[in-house]
Amino acid sequence: MIKKVETLLKHRPLMFVVVLLSSLVLLLSPILLGEVGTTKDGAILGFLKENAWSDFLGVFHPLVLHLPIGALILIFSMELLGKMSPKYRFDMTIPLLFNAGSSVLAVVLGLLWYYGGDDFSSASELLDSHMWKGLIYAVCALWLPLIYAAGRGRLRIFYYLTLIGSVVMMTVSAHDGGESLHGDIFTKAPWNLKEDSVRERSGDGDGTEVVASVYDPVLFTEIVTPILEEKCNSCHHSDHKVKSDLKFDTYADILKGGREQDYYPCLVPGDVENSFLVGCIELPDDDDFHMPPIKKDQITAEELVLLKWWVSVGAPEEKKLSEVEVPAEVQAILDKQKK
């Protein structure tokens, strides 16, 4: 089997043409398909959106993309071991071909999901970045087997450079993809947890300075926004997806609402019952309008209390905790979060 593959790869002019054409098709595909969310769809994009198979197959992208990631880790690790000791040197032909094939498959499924699925109603800079980096990685993956077969002696340096470039491109692409689905993990890092502080002199007269933490957060940015970022932004933020034309990028976007704003206003300051931001959370799990979708992380009971309280006090954008009435239940939740 390996001998047959090596024989095929030795037909360098033919393989060069095949890999070159495949690379051009991949890199030109976003240009041919156009921009996600445009009002005038081309023939190809229109076909993808109308074909139910596009959405069905596309959702397998997050699953399949782990194949090239695993293959690349294996290839890179084996090459490092081979450099450490000759007895660990193995033929990379089959792993490289598997990496190339799985990379192309992951990219195709990703394009079907992005352009033909119902999860993306508008373009996203983060997803566009993820797409282009993924395409570049797939092109590198296509060239790696050919460079590996042709590279001997000094030419092998081109193989190693392409491999290292592939690792870098896969890393940054995977980061963008993960952030588009789950948000930026660094927002939860300890060094990003901010708390208003004031310094005051101690009253014992010894001149020492004591730092007293005064918790007085801005309601929208420091209490409400973190909940939306963790539980809602993966489907309602321009950096990720924008379902139903509803964005939570800014306070103004939440007030503007989405496609169903006339029937189900997203936010009505001071009116909890008519604010669908809260209402959709309280719907039964099997209701089509229940949010977040049942397969996503759900809003906790405490988070729901905070959201309803914020809406009830007028859903202010800039007011701080000290400027509004805080029920005992809400204060207990906030005290718990501070610990």
The backbone torsions φ and ψ at residue 242, rounded to the nearest 5 degrees and listed phi first, read -135, 85
First to last CA, the chain: 61
Domain final residue pick, 182, 204, 228: 182
Average pLDDT over residues 317-337: 88
Tell me what the mean pLDDT of segment 162-168 comes to.
93
> 321 in a domain, yes or no?
yes
Q: Quick one: average pLDDT of 169-178? A: 89
Residues paired with 242 in a beta bridge: 236
70 lies in the same domain as 121: yes
pLDDT greater at residue 55 or residue 248 = 248
Query: How far apart are alpha carbons 71 and 128 in whole angstroms?
Result: 24
Is residue 198 within a helix (H) or strand (E), and if so which, with residue range? strand 197-201
> Is 206 a domain residue?
no
Residues 42, 155: one domain? Answer: yes
* Predicted pLDDT at 35: 65
Asked whether the predicted pLDDT for residue 209 surpasses 70, the reply is: no
In a domain, 223, yes or no: yes
Confidence of residue 243 (pLDDT cuts 50, 70, 90): confident
Q: Are 118 and 49 in contact (CB under 8 A)?
A: no
Determine, yes or no, domain membership for 209.
Answer: no
| pLDDT for 270 | 92
Global pTM reads: 0.57
Q: Are residues 163 and 45 in the same domain?
A: yes
Residue 208 lies in a domain: no
* pLDDT, average across residues 182-202: 55
pLDDT-derived band at 84, boundaries 50, 70, 90: confident
Does some domain include residue 201?
Answer: no
- The pLDDT value given to residue 162: 92
Average pLDDT, the chain: 80
pLDDT confidence tier of residue 2, bands split at 50, 70 and 90: low
DSSP string, 55-108: HHHHTTHHHHTHHHHHHHHHHHHHHHHHHH-GGG----HHHHHHHHHHHHHHHH
Pair 82, 21 in one domain = yes
Residue 42 shares a structural domain with residue 176: yes
257 lies in the same domain as 129: no
In terms of residue numbers, what domain contains 226?
A: 219-338
**Are residues 129 and 251 both part of a single domain?**
no
**Per-residue confidence (pLDDT) for residue 199, from 0 to 100:** 38
Q: Do the domain assignments include residue 229?
A: yes
**What is the C-alpha separation between 213 and 206, in angstroms, rounded?**
21
Q: Is the pLDDT of residue 201 over 50?
A: no
Instruction: Give a yes or no: residue 191 inside a domain.
Output: no
For the stretch 135-157, pLDDT in tens is: 999 999 999 988 888 776 667 88
Question: Nearest 5 degrees, angle CA 293-CA 192-CA 217?
Answer: 80
Q: Which residue has the higher pLDDT, 1 or 189?
A: 189
* Mean pLDDT value across residues 156-174: 92
86-100, 109-123, 133-147, 281-295, range with the lowest pLDDT: 109-123
**Residue 16 — very low, low, confident or very high, per pLDDT cuts 50/70/90?**
confident
Q: Which of 165, 182, 199 lies at the terminal end of a domain, its last residue?
A: 182
pLDDT band, residue 204 (cuts 50/70/90) = very low
> pLDDT tier at 212 (50, 70, 90 boundaries)?
very low
The reply to whether 18 and 86 lie within a common domain is: yes
In terms of domains, do 333 and 278 share one? yes
> What is the DSSP track for 124-177?
-HHHHHHHHHHHHHHHHHHHHHHHHHH--GGGHHHHHHHHHHHHHHHHHHHHHH
Task: Give the residue, 120 or 259, on which the prediction is more confident.
Answer: 259
Same domain, residue pair 31 and 172: yes
Report helix, strand or coil for 326. coil
Residues 245 and 148 in one domain: no
Lowest mean pLDDT among 72-76, 132-136, 320-324: 320-324
Residues 223, 170, single domain; the answer is: no
On the question of pLDDT at 57 being above 90, the answer is: no
Q: Could you give the dihedral angle defined by the CA atoms of residues 235, 55, 298 and 326, in that order, rounded to the nearest 10 degrees?
A: 20
Q: How many domains does the chain have?
A: 2
